């Protein structure tokens, strides 16, 4: 891109969170009005809420915190309160260390919520810390665009009780003077690969895409030092593009803005819906998949519920072994398994705290999986085709297939707004995975940013092992499960048809 700015984001206003990232209305700790932005700095119109009224316009940036009254969202310029955990997911009985900066120094508390349905609330409060003493931590360290806070002092250790349910959690940090930030974390399944003699832990393992979340993290979003795998700032506070972005990013830092990752809502949409209908779920992070802490044979299916673009070789091999040994794979987003990444230790030697993706710069092999003769389609059955600037309907194909059974969908029906964000399709010149049967369940035309008509597809195939591999081919599938304004009963029923077959091993 050179020095030209993509967009001059207001410092602290990008806030990779929304008023309602959990899709359930104003939760107790969510009272602001932030908006999601995509990686080009534009408001994502379909992602946040209902379509605006005719003639209405969306705000270009989030408004400033309201004076007085309720909590106010911390930002990356003043760093009123920001934090991160120094490990990945933790199992019941283990501990999570929180590193938190508070400016000005004052007491703060940490409320822990677990994401789920909970009668429509979207989350339940599990515990609250005692009042803690907050300090101003040192500024982030930077080296060749890599930003790290690994030198921050320990602020609080959460000992996870053995009786806690595994799942997706959010720590809500709140200062005495009312500023608030978030730290997402996972309480994962406690049994690791290699342990023998255990019955299956759960029917389905939900794999949260923490590696992709970190790839998009621009912390600190201060107009000076923050960097992600997409952007960095120049000396004049202008946002630079991918060619000037970081090659390596650190997990030892907060998430930008309100402290929630970009696209985190996709995973939470699925979780709320699946827990509401009683599916037997276990949880883990992508780094657990990478590090071998997942034994796929203990589950009937692995579910990848959100945008999951960045995969290591170890992640891919684990998924392939799962498929080869009869564990089904469910990909509910698009642009999955696109970039190949490496994970390395932090400066203090903690494994898997640095994420490297060379993309098209620097030495080493090409970073696109399809450029190292391992295209995504060989695992998923389809692969990334491009962005979808405006939402389009998903056009049902092969409506007599069991996936569409009892949905009310007919051949050629359009499910409005379901092709959005990004899209996948079948590439005829790219090899398919070995399969017993394969079918495309949607074929949906849309226009790209240049007005060219392209198409999205939804894929399902059965591997020789009997495992099913489903790929939705669109960002909008998970929001259609449980996000107000996006829910579609046909998508809910189709997803239930799929998961029910996997859980029964049909």
Residue 94 belongs to some domain of the structure? no
> What number of other Cβ atoms are within 10 A of residue 52's Cβ?
10
Q: What are the helix (H) ranges across 277-414?
A: 286-291, 313-324, 377-380
CA distance 161 to 289: 23
- Burial grade of 32 (CB within 10 A; 0-12, 13-18, 19 or more): buried
When divided into structural domains, the chain yields a total of 1
Smallest CA-to-CA distance from 424 within 485, 468, 371, 380 is with: 380
List per-block mean pLDDT (blocks of 10 residues) for the chain, which spans 506 residues.
34 30 36 36 31 36 42 88 92 95 97 90 90 97 94 96 94 93 91 48 95 94 91 87 91 92 88 95 96 93 96 97 97 96 91 89 74 95 94 97 98 96 96 96 95 96 97 94 90 98 86
**pLDDT the model gives residue 214:** 96
Tell whether 37 is covered by a domain. no
Q: Is residue 105 part of a domain?
A: no
pLDDT digits (tens, 9 = 90+) for 13-47: 222 223 333 333 333 333 233 333 334 444 332 22
pLDDT at residue number 227: 93
Q: Provide the 8-state DSSP code for 375.
A: -
Long-range interactions of 59-66: CB distance < 8 A, separation 24+: 59/35, 61/9, 61/10, 61/13, 61/35, 62/13, 62/15, 62/32, 62/33, 62/34, 62/35, 63/33, 65/32
Give the pLDDT confidence score for residue 51 in this predicted structure: 31
Q: Give the pLDDT score at 52.
A: 34
Give the pLDDT of residue 344.
95
Give the model's pLDDT for residue 364: 62
- Give me the pLDDT at residue 489, please: 97
Q: Tell me, what's the pLDDT at 53?
A: 35
pTM exceeds 0.85 for this model:
yes
Which residue range is the domain that position 318 belongs to? 195-503
Q: For residue 244, give the CATH number of its domain.
A: 3.40.50.880
Strands 81-85 vs 95-102: parallel, antiparallel or unpaired: antiparallel
Gap between the Cα atoms of 42 and 21, Å rounded: 17
Distance CA 198, CA 298 (A): 8
d(CA 228, CA 231): 5
Residue 99 lies in a domain: no
Residue 142 domain flag: no
Domain contains 282: yes
What HEC string does 99-116 produce?
Answer: EEEECCCCEEEEEEEEEC
CB 250 within 8 A of CB 348: no
Peptide bond into 220 cis (omega under 30): yes
> Which pLDDT belongs to residue 360?
63
Closest C-alpha among 10, 286, 350 to residue 149 = 350
């Amino acid at each position: 891109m050179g020095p030209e700015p993509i967009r001059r984001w207001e410092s602290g206003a990008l806030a990779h969170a929304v008023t309602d990232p959990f899709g359930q209305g104003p939760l107790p700790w969510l009272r602001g009005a932030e908006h999601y932005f995509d990686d080009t700095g534009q408001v994502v119109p379909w992602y946040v809420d209902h379509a605006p009224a005719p003639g209405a316009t969306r705000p270009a940036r989030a408004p400033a915190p309201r004076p007085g009254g309720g909590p106010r969202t911390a930002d990356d310029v003043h760093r009123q309160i920001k934090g991160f955990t120094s490990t990945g997911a933790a199992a019941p009985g283990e501990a999570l260390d929180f590193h938190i900066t508070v400016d000005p120094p004052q007491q703060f508390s940490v409320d822990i919520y677990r994401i789920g349905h909970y009668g429509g609330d979207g989350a339940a409060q599990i515990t609250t810390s005692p009042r803690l003493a907050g300090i101003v931590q040192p500024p982030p360290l930077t080296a060749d665009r890599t930003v790290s806070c690994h030198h921050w002092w320990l602020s609080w250790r959460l000992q996870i009780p053995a009786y806690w349910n595994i799942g997706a959690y959010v720590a809500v940090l709140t200062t005495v003077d009312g500023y608030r930030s978030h730290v997402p974390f996972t309480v994962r399944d406690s049994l690791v690969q290699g342990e023998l003699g255990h019955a299956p832990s759960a029917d389905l393992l939900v794999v949260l895409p923490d590696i992709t979340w970190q790839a998009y993290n621009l912390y600190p979003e201060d107009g000076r030092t923050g960097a992600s795998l997409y952007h960095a700032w120049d000396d004049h506070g202008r946002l630079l593009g991918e060619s000037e972005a970081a090659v390596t990013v650190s997990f030892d830092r907060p998430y930008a803005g309100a402290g929630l990752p970009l696209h985190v809502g996709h995973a939470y949409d699925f979780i709320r819906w699946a827990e509401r209908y009683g599916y037997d779920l276990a949880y883990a992070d992508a780094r657990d998949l990478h590090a071998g802490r997942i034994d796929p044979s203990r589950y009937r299916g692995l579910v990848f519920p959100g945008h999951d673009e960045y995969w290591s070789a170890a992640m891919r091999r684990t998924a392939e072994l799962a498929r080869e040994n009869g564990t089904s794979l469910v990909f509910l987003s698009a642009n999955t398994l696109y970039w190949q990444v490496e994970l390395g230790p932090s400066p203090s030697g903690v494994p898997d705290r640095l994420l490297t993706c060379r993309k098209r710069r620097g030495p080493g092999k090409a970073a696109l999986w399809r450029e190292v003769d391992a295209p995504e389609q060989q695992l998923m059955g389809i692969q990334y085709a491009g962005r979808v600037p405006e939402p389009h309907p998903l056009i049902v194909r092969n409506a007599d297939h069991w996936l569409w059974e009892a949905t009310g969908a007919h051949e050629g029906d359009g499910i409005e707004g379901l092709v959005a964000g990004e899209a996948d399709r079948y590439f005829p010149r790219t090899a398919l995975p070995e399969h017993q049967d394969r079918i495309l369940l949607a074929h949906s035309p849309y226009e790209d940013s240049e007005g060219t008509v392209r198409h999205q597809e939804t894929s399902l195939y059965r591997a020789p092992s009997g495992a099913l591999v489903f790929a939705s081919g669109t960002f909008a599938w998970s929001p259609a499960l449980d996000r107000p304004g996006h829910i579609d009963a046909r998508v809910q029923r189709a997803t239930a048809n799929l998961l029910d077959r996997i859980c029964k091993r049909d």
